[in-house]
Amino acid sequence: MAQFLDISSWLLLSLGGVFVFIGGLGALRMPDLYTRMHAASITDAMGPVLIITGIILQAGLSLASIKLTAILLFLLVTGPTASNALASAALLAGKRTEQARPFEQGRTE
Amino acid sequence: MFYAVTIALIITMALALMRAVIGPSLYDRVLAVNMLGTKTVLLLAVIAFLFGRPDFLDLALAYALINFIGVLAVLEFFRSRAARNSECSGEDT
Amino acid sequence: MTVIFGVFLLTLLVITAIAIVQARNLFVSVMLSGIFSLLLAANFFLLDAADVALTEAAIGAGISTVLLLGALVLTADSERAPSTNRLVALIVVVTTMLVLIYATFEKPRFGDPFAPVHQHVAPWYLDKTREAIDIPNVVTAVLGSFRGYDTLGEVFVVFTAGIGVLFLLGARSGEYAQQGPIDSAQPGGLRHYLIPRVVGRLLMPFILLFGFYVQFHGDYGPGGGFQAGAIVAAAVILYALLEGEDRALRVMPRGLLTGLIAGGALIYGAVGLAGIFLGGNFLDYSVLSSDPVKGQHLGILLIEAGVGITVTGVLLSIFHAFAARDKF
């Protein structure tokens, strides 16, 4: 049982690390502000889920697990909110994106 | 087992820092600060377990909420500044 | 392994510092200084200094960024052109740096068990805390009881900073007040800010609860008055950012904030004087109750509450002083 917990926790932590790294790489290499926000905010929601679940499996049933669950809930609630607020602020300030073209009637591609 | 995650987190912090330094507009930098904040929370949580001090998780929780309030404060001040000088938008280096 | 992580974080710190100095736009500098504070907090955490890391995270990364942004809204956006004669400054800085580096050659290595501080000072505090005060967090014991005078001085420094800022920026309530949330000036702006407002209102009680938890849990884990004051102030600042500064002033009016600033320092001083009236010395908590250890607990509880109250009052007053001056 402890072996199974260790292996699954190792798997979750590594996967979480991979997600977090992809997010960082995306934020650095994406061409435009909105694409960078997309990369950063999605991986900011997935990475903590995997990493903190991996740590909870290691911590077992204790006060630390409750605190970790609180941290996870907090990150899941505030992360997307901050991204939403940032995107709204950028949109209202007039930052346009060159990656998207406006929708026109009859355009099929 | 925790070392690999810590290395991944620190490398991501370095990448986000590069975005904060390079980023041409202010919103890129705010994005980088937000990312650094969440990565720091994760780093604190992982290191707390790495060093066997799980009672240090209070720091991670405090930092998560401070990061959120900080990002909202930055955006609010951009908005009030843009509302104040309506002829220039939030565009700058 | 700690050393490698520490060195990596310190390298990031140096890069951030260079970027702060190079940036011409002051908003960029403020945000990079927020990053600097959080990297520093992570570094303190690696060095196992949890209380300091919590204080640095709460005050440096959160409140300082908000206050600096508030100041920037009132001043210019970019740096002025640098003055011409910087050679003297450069020589002074380089000389000081070389002297400091030379001084570190004589210091004991990090974590050396034979360092002088680990021979006499640390074991004395660890033993005395267990027998006289009996709380798990030795940092709070040292800060609250053994070095209570220093903390009294710190509370009065925070108090002085608060009234200094109020003198400089003015605490007038009606004249400079905003007309309401800036939202009302932009009719379309409100719908874009619905999600942060809802989430902010949802989270506020939990943030306040966490602030009180940090305040009272300071005896057992990292925490204490300074950190708790910053977190409670951050919760009210969140309310002010989302709902408008005048509603935040209705919730906690300026009179109440001034009362908090003075009241916290008063509580601290009163505990000290109570020690004298009950037969002991100034700030001697052992005489506050029939059992000296319980007296110490009571004393530390009261002074930490005083510290938290003053810090909350000062941070909120400074925030309102900046935010209210949107027109000169």
Among the ranges given (A68-77, A90-99, B16-25), the one the predictor scored with the smallest mean pLDDT: A90-99
- Could you tell me which residue, B37 or C80, shows the higher pLDDT? B37
Q: Which of A84, A91, A95 should one mutate to test binding to chain C, selecting the residue with the greatest count of C CBs within 10 A?
A: A84
d(CA C145, CA C129): 9
User: Distance from A102 to chain B by nearest Cα, in Å?
Assistant: 22
Q: Does A5 touch chain C (CB under 8 A)?
A: no
**For residues B33-39, average pLDDT:** 91
Query: Percent helix, strand and coil across chain B, each rounded to 5?
Result: 85, 0, 15
Q: Can you tell me the distance from the alpha carbon of B55 to that of B48, in angstroms, rounded to the nearest whole number?
A: 8
Q: Considering its fold, how many domains does chain C have in total?
A: 2
Q: Provide Rg for chain B, Cα atoms.
A: 16
- Top mean-pLDDT range of A57-71, C144-158, C244-258: C144-158
> In terms of domains, do C22 and C122 share one?
no
Q: What pLDDT, on the 0 to 100 scale, is given for residue C192?
A: 56
State whether residue B1 is helix, strand or coil. coil
User: pLDDT tens digit string along C162-192?
Assistant: 999 888 887 555 554 444 444 444 433 344 5
Burial A56-92 (b: 16+ CB within 10 A, else e): bbbbeeeebbebbebbbebbebbbbbbbbbbbbbbeb
Measured between CA atoms, the residue of chain B closest to residue A68 is B57
- The verdict on A68 touching B (C-beta cutoff 8 Å) is yes
Contact B5 A51 (CB under 8 A): yes
Q: Which two tokens stand for residue A55?
A: 């740590």
Distance CA A46, CA C326 (A): 40
Q: Are A76 and A51 in contact (CB under 8 A)?
A: no
Of the pLDDT bands very low, low, confident and very high (cuts 50, 70, 90), residue A104 is low
For an interface test with B, the pick among C15, C66, C78 (most B C-beta atoms closer than 10 Å) comes out as C66
- Record: contact A78-C199, CB cut-off 8 A: yes
Average pLDDT over residues A40-52: 92
Give A-chain residues touching C196 at CB under 8 angstroms. 81, 84-85
3 state DSSP class of A76: helix
CA angle C258, C264, C266 (to 5 degrees): 100
Q: Are residues C152 and C91 in the same domain?
A: no
- Other Cβ atoms less than 10 A from the Cβ of C232: the count is 23
pLDDT of the residue at A102: 66
> Which chain B residues are within 8 Å of C57, Cβ to Cβ?
59, 62-63, 66
What is the pLDDT at residue C279? 85
pLDDT at C15: 92
B13 and A CB contact within 8 Å: yes
Domain boundary (C107, C139, C171) is at C107
What local confidence, expressed as pLDDT, does residue C308 receive? 94
DSSP string, A1-43: -HHHHHHHHHHHHHHHHHHHHHHHHHHHH-SSHHHHHHHHHHH
How many Cβ atoms are within 10 Å of C251's Cβ, its own excluded? 11
Interface of C with B in 215-244 (CB under 8 A): 217, 220-223, 227, 231, 234, 237-238, 241-242
Residue C205's pLDDT is 92
Residues C65 and C150 placed together within one structural domain of the fold: no
Which residues in B lie closer than 8 A to residue A75 (C-beta atoms)? Answer: 38, 41, 64
Task: Identify the residue with better confidence: C1 or B72.
Answer: B72
pLDDT tens, residue by residue, C57-82: 888 888 888 888 888 877 777 777 77
Query: pLDDT exceeding 70 applies to what percent of chain B?
Result: 88
What pLDDT score does A18 carry?
93
Whether residue C119 sits in one domain with residue C85:
no
State the pLDDT at residue C183: 42
Residue in C closest to B28 by C-alpha = C28
Q: Under an 8 A CB cutoff, do A77 and C199 touch?
A: yes
Quote the ipTM score. Answer: 0.84
C244: alpha, beta or left? (left if phi > 0; alpha if psi -120 to 50) = left
pLDDT in the model for residue A109: 55
Find out whether C25 and B93 touch, Cβ atoms under 8 Å.
yes
pLDDT tens-digit map of C89-103: 889 999 999 999 998
C131 and C76 both lie in a single domain: no
Give the end-to-end CA distance of chain B in Å, rounded to a whole number.
Answer: 42
Residue of B nearest to A18 (CA): B8
Chain B interface, mutation test: which of A13, A56, A73, most B Cβ atoms within 10 Å?
Answer: A13
Q: Which of B2, B18, B91 sits opposite A28 (nearest CB)?
A: B18
CA nearest C191 in A: which residue? A88
- One-letter amino acid at C27 equals F
The CB density around residue C97, as the number of other CB atoms within 10 Å, is: 10
3-class DSSP string for C260-309: HHHHHHHHHHHHHHHHHHCCCCCCCHHHHCCCHHHHHHHHHHHHHHHHHH
- Whether the per-residue pLDDT at C45 is higher than 50: the answer is yes
**Partner B contacted by A9 (CB < 8 A):** yes
Spatial distance between the Cα atoms of C222 and C195, rounded to a whole number of angstroms: 33
Non-local (6+) Cβ contacts of C134 within 8 A are: C293, C296, C297
Q: Which residue of B has its CA nearest to A71?
A: B61
Is the CB of C65 inside 8 Å of chain B's CB atoms? yes
- How far CA B80 is from CA of B45, C157, C192, C296, in Å, comes to 35, 32, 14, 48
* Percent of chain B topping pLDDT 90: 17
Alpha-carbon span C77 to B82, nearest angstrom: 12
The tally of CA atoms less than 13 A away on the side-chain side of residue B71 is 31
Domain span holding position C65: 1-107
Residue A79, both tokens: 């992360």
At C261-292, the pLDDT tens digits run 999 999 999 999 998 888 888 888 888 888 88
Give me the mean pLDDT over the C212-239 stretch.
90
Contact C192 A77 (CB under 8 A): no
CA C308 – CA C260 distance, rounded (Å): 9
Residues present in chain B in total: 93
Confidence of residue A100 (pLDDT cuts 50, 70, 90): low
Are C63 and C154 part of one and the same domain? no
What is the C-alpha separation between B31 and A41, in angstroms, rounded?
9
Listed residues C107, C123, C145: the one ending a domain: C107
Provide, as residue numbers in chain C, all residues whose Cβ is less than 8 Å from the Cβ of B33.
Answer: 31, 34-35
Residues 14-43 of A with CB under 8 A from C: none
Q: How far apart are CA A71 and CA A59, in angstroms?
A: 14
Enumerate the domain spans of chain B: 2-84
Query: What is the percent of chain A where pLDDT is above 70?
Result: 89
Residues C80 and C143 in one domain: no
